[in-house]
Every structure is written in C-alpha cells, then in structure tokens.
Structure 1
Amino acid sequence: MVLVSSKYLLDRAYQEHFAIGAFNAGNSEFVKNIITVAENLQSPVIIQIYPLEYELMGSKIIKYVLEAAKVSNVPIAVHLDHGRDLNDVLRSNKDQLNSVMIDTSAEEFAKNVAATSEVVDICHRLGIAVEAELGSIGNRFANDSSNMGRIYTDPNSAKEFIEQTEVDFLAVSIGTVHGPYPSGKNEIRIDILKEINRALKIPLVLHGGSKNPDQKIKEAIENGIAKVNISTDIKLPYFHAIKDTVIEKPTDYEPWIMLKQANQIQKDILKEKILLFGSNGKASEYLNDFRHLKPYFPYEGEKVEFY
C-alpha cells in the first residue's frame, strides 16, 4: 500500500462525517498494534510522533514506521504531533513525514500567525500538509484546576487565522485537555465547535481526545472534527498492564510474555476508538480508484535534498 497524506484522509473524512484516529506511537509495539487493528477493521489511520517520543526513539523509528506503513493494506499517514518550533518541523521534513503540526498557540495571535505562516510556506513548497492550533487545549497540570488552562477558540479569530496562514487543518479548543481528566471535567462545547465549523469549512482536529464521553465525540465528528488525537487512552492501560504482569510473574523476562497482556489491552482500546470514530471499513473508499489517490505529498512539492 502506498503511503497517503493526512490531508487526503481528512478531506474525505470531513466531507463524509467520520474521523481518522491519530494515535501516538510511543514505541515500536505501538506501531504494530495500531497497524494490526487498522488492518483488521479496514480503517485508514494516522500514526503520529510527539517531539519527546521522537527524541526518545530517534529518527530510525520514522524509517520503521514508514516501512511498516508501506507493506500495510490500509491507507496510513505519518504525522509530526505538536512540533514546538521550526527545528522540529525541519527534522520531520528531513525524515519524510508527510504532514506536520506546528504548535505556537501559546504565543499571541500575531506571533502564532507569523510562525505558522513560515512553516506553511516551507512545507507546502516541499509538498507537506500542515496542522496548527488556535486557542489552548489545556492540560491536567495547569495551575487553575477549574479551567486547566483552556482558552476556547474564537470562530472569528479562527477564520482570520486560516485566511492568513493557509493551514490545511486546525486544532481547536472546545473543552478538552491533554492527559487524563480529573473527575467531572469533561465539558466539550459543541456550540462553539458548530460556530467554528460554519466559519472555516475545513477539517478540524480534536486534541485531548482521551477520556471523553462517546456521545460527545460522535457529536464533535458530526460538526467538523475529522481527526481525533489519542495518546493517554492507549498509554496508561498499556504500561499498567506491564506493571501488573511484572508483579504477577516476577521471575519472567521474555518480551512475548511480559508484553502479551499489554498489547492485547491496547489493541482492544484501538478497536473501540476506531469503531467510535466511524472510520472502520473506509479503507476501500480510498483505495477503489488509484487514479484519484493523492500522493504521499499532497502538494506539487519541490525536489529538495536535505543535508
């Protein structure tokens, strides 16, 4: 199977009101589990790498992901998650990820526009799709526990941001947070999402996709969310399962023994998420006519050698 662009996956998902799961690959086992479940469900999928995951595993993990995706029978895109600056983006360009996120949402609007525009200019010339963020998703470590650092995305500002930067898809803040939620803090604002969707009419991205009510996720997908990021939901149970196995079998050490339960738990969660997002069975829609299959890079990129 050829690798496809995140842009190609999301454009169709947005039009048909389903979403693509974008799962963070914390190690090579995660990559195998994600692809196995995607193939079993015949679902397109995005494998994404966060900068700290990138630093932990090095550029070689990207080569592994790309090769694993090439021999899969479903469409797979490979994405940089939360690129912190131009250096993160250029590293991912060199390693041939075909879409990137530049996240300068903590900056004031003008600086966010400027930084994002620079990345879009470089990446579109190389043929690479770009995601950005406006507002603040928030996280569980924020000082204000009642709000957890959320700044909701303003629809009017979002429209101006899209017009000035020409990003391909936008991560919006509608009440989710990164990391596990404290009890009772799940407050996805579908009303805000509807306004953003009406204003932008481009694929939208939900960060902090873990630990949300299924019904809210379904409503979000119906109202413009075409990519749902999942990290916590596939990491916490995985590593807790390893801990439980170590406690249960303290004298065992072989990987096929120590990881068996963790891998199965993760695969069960991946299946649950893909079914929730409605992307199961959609692989054939992308693959039916290869003449319309967008290339790995969605733009007419320049031939560039990286050194």
Structure 2
Amino acid sequence: MLINGKTLLDVANANSFAVPAFNVADYQMFNGLIDISEKKNAPVIIAIHPNEIALLGYDVLQAIRQRAHFSSVPVAIHLDHGLTYEAAVGAIRGGYTSVMIDASMHPFEENVAITKRVTDTAHIVDLSVEGELGTIGKTDGYAESGTADIIYTVPDDAVRFVAETGVDSLAIAIGTRHGIYPDDLQPELKLDLLKEIKRAVGIPLVLHGGSNNPDDEIAEAARTGVNKINISSDIKVAYFTKMREVLADTKLREPDTIYPPCVEAMQAVAGQKIDLFGTAGKASLY
C-alpha cells in the first residue's frame, strides 16, 4: 500500500512507535527491505537520498512505486535530505510520496522561508514534508550532510518553526550523528530534550543518524516521541560486508548467486531495527 508520509507517521505518533526509514540505492536492497517488512507486518519508509536517486535513476522509481503499491504493508517513498526547493519539486514530480527539505544549515528565518515554500507546494498535491531544525553531526566524509559539532534543537524555536512552516514532521538534533561512530566517539541522546520538544510541538519527530546508536536509547526514543528513525549505514555495512565475503570466491559471476546472501545479511539488521522500534505488527493499524 503506497501512502504519503503524513498518513504513515500520524498513526505511529498516535500509537507511540517509530517507523524505520531505510536508505536504498540498489534495487536488490529495496526488494529485500519490502520483503522483511512484509514478513514483520511492519510499515516502512523507503528513503532515497539525492545521490541515491542519481545512481538509481527516476525510471527505477516507477518500479519502486509499483512494488510499494501492491505491498501488503504501508510504504512511503521519501526524499532524504533534499537541500533546495528545486530538488523537492523534482522529487514530487518524480514520484516520491514524501519529501524532506533540509535547510538546517541556513539561518532560522531562511530555513523557515525555504521550508514553507516546499510545504506549500507539496500540500497542494497531498504530499507530506519533513523539515529539520538544529544540525545532525557527522562521523566521516562518507556520511550524509552534517556538521562537525551538533547544534541542538531549541524547543521554543521548534514551536515557532512548525507553526510558520506547516511541516508534517520535524527532524530534530538531540545528539545523533550520521554514519558509523568511531571508537573514540560515543553517541549519547538527550532524551529529556526529546520529551520537551515533543510536548511542545506534538507532531511526529524524526531522528537522523539512527545507525550505530545504543539499542536502549533508540528504543526509549521510539517510545517517547520519535516516530521516524533513519537507518542507512547499518544496513549498508551488513549488505556490502557480506558482498565482499561472497566475492572473495572469484569464480562467482551470476547475480542470483551473489545477491541473496547479501540481502539476507541486510534483512537480519533491518528486522532487528523493526523489532527495536516497536514497528513489527503495526501494519494492522492502517
């Protein structure tokens, strides 16, 4: 069932669970993620970053839409970290059902103006919009956009931002970073700040940089206000680590031999996240 992000996350918000947003840039990964979501009877968000859609091509998005439309679980197709109004409009035209406009690196007033423009456009065609306030950290040059230092979201600013932009969900900065944490950098979520922001704004909140964080903190975040958690690095590490192992046998050349164990390794990680976020079985709520 292909739906927009607002419909998906409003149910999660009302029932205190989080939906995983799995980043994909490979059609085998996409099919594997739909399969494990159906097995778990869990709603899912397929997140595709601008770099990833550039690799996949918009033609493939039509096949993704078709599979999502006939899926037994609710699926939203989400633009992850669109940086400009033009990128968001391109995603809307291309077939996404939800878009993120990330203007968090701009001053507050400019962030509001850019985000509101995207929201006004997307809502005309009944698509949902995620904004971002505060900045997510980064761990390495391979991670998505981020800053060396985290700028935490201020609750009063969040109230004003939501009121002035009309966003359907809000990505907040409470201590996560994109990518895989090195040994000398330990993640620590400010769960009290999360609860304060949730009380203030009420709408679904989004946690970027969800990979490689302690399970107990992530599970608590999913129960106390976060309704969408982005997972990219964890599933890609599982997928491509297994692929390197498989391809160590230099005689292998057929995709139907190479891909299945890689997808299975990725599904093990994705399935654990679905359980951790409280998403398993929640497709029955839609």
Q: What's the offset of the Cα at 1:163? A: 0.8
Q: 3-state SS of the aligned residue for 1:80?
A: strand
Q: What's the offset of the Cα at 1:285? A: 1.6
Aligned twin of 2:237: 236
* Distance in 1 separating the partners of 2:187 and 2:274: 20
Aligned twin of 1:128: 127
Question: What pairs up with 1:122-271 in 2 under 5 angstroms?
Answer: 122-141=121-140, 148-183=148-183, 184-247=185-248, 249-271=249-271
**Contact 1:141 / 1:148 at 8 angstroms: preserved in 2?**
no
* Distance in 1 separating the partners of 2:38 and 2:207: 23
- Deviation above 4 Å: which 4+ runs of structure 1? none
Q: What's the offset of the Cα at 1:192? A: 1.0
* Distance in 1 separating the partners of 2:58 and 2:265: 27
* Amino acid corresponding to residue 150 of structure 1 in structure 2: I
Aligned twin of 2:111: 112
**Contact 1:17 / 1:221 at 8 angstroms: preserved in 2?**
yes
* Distance in 2 separating the partners of 1:72 and 1:121: 29
Q: What's the offset of the Cα at 1:252? A: 1.1
**Contact 2:222 / 2:278 at 8 angstroms: preserved in 1?**
no
**Contact 2:155 / 2:197 at 8 angstroms: preserved in 1?**
yes
* Distance in 2 separating the partners of 1:112 and 1:101: 12
* Amino acid corresponding to residue 193 of structure 2 in structure 1: I
Q: 3-state SS of the aligned residue for 2:76?
A: strand
Structure 2 unaligned segments of length 5 or more: list them.
142-146
Instruction: Write the deviation string for residues 148-203 of structure 1: whole angstroms up to 9, x where unpaired.
Output: 32111111111111111010000000000001112242111101111111111110
* Distance in 2 separating the partners of 1:81 and 1:61: 17
Aligned twin of 2:80: 81
Identity over aligned residues, as a percent? 41
* Amino acid corresponding to residue 239 of structure 2 in structure 1: Y
Q: 3-state SS of the aligned residue for 2:227?
A: strand
Q: What's the offset of the Cα at 1:79? A: 0.8
* Amino acid corresponding to residue 10 of structure 1 in structure 2: L
* Distance in 1 separating the partners of 2:186 and 2:245: 28
Q: 3-state SS of the aligned residue for 1:174?
A: coil
RMSD: 1.2
* Distance in 2 separating the partners of 1:95 and 1:131: 17
**Contact 2:5 / 2:127 at 8 angstroms: preserved in 1?**
no
**Contact 1:148 / 1:177 at 8 angstroms: preserved in 2?**
no
* Amino acid corresponding to residue 140 of structure 2 in structure 1: F
* Amino acid corresponding to residue 241 of structure 1 in structure 2: K
Instruction: Write the deviation string for residues 45-90 of structure 1: whole angstroms up to 9, x where unpaired.
Output: 1111100001111101211110111121111111111111112111
**Contact 1:18 / 1:278 at 8 angstroms: preserved in 2?**
yes
Q: What's the offset of the Cα at 1:265? A: 0.3
**Contact 2:49 / 2:81 at 8 angstroms: preserved in 1?**
yes
* Distance in 2 separating the partners of 1:282 and 1:268: 19
* Distance in 2 separating the partners of 1:231 and 1:185: 18
* Amino acid corresponding to residue 218 of structure 1 in structure 2: A
Aligned twin of 2:144: none
Computing the radius of gyration over CA atoms, which structure comes out larger, 1 or 2? Answer: 1
Aligned residues: 280
What TM-score do the two structures reach when normalised by structure 2? 0.95
Structure 1 unaligned segments of length 5 or more: list them.
287-307
Q: What's the offset of the Cα at 1:22? A: 0.7
Q: What's the offset of the Cα at 1:96? A: 2.2
**Contact 1:136 / 1:150 at 8 angstroms: preserved in 2?**
yes
Q: 3-state SS of the aligned residue for 1:259?
A: helix
* Distance in 1 separating the partners of 2:47 and 2:229: 11
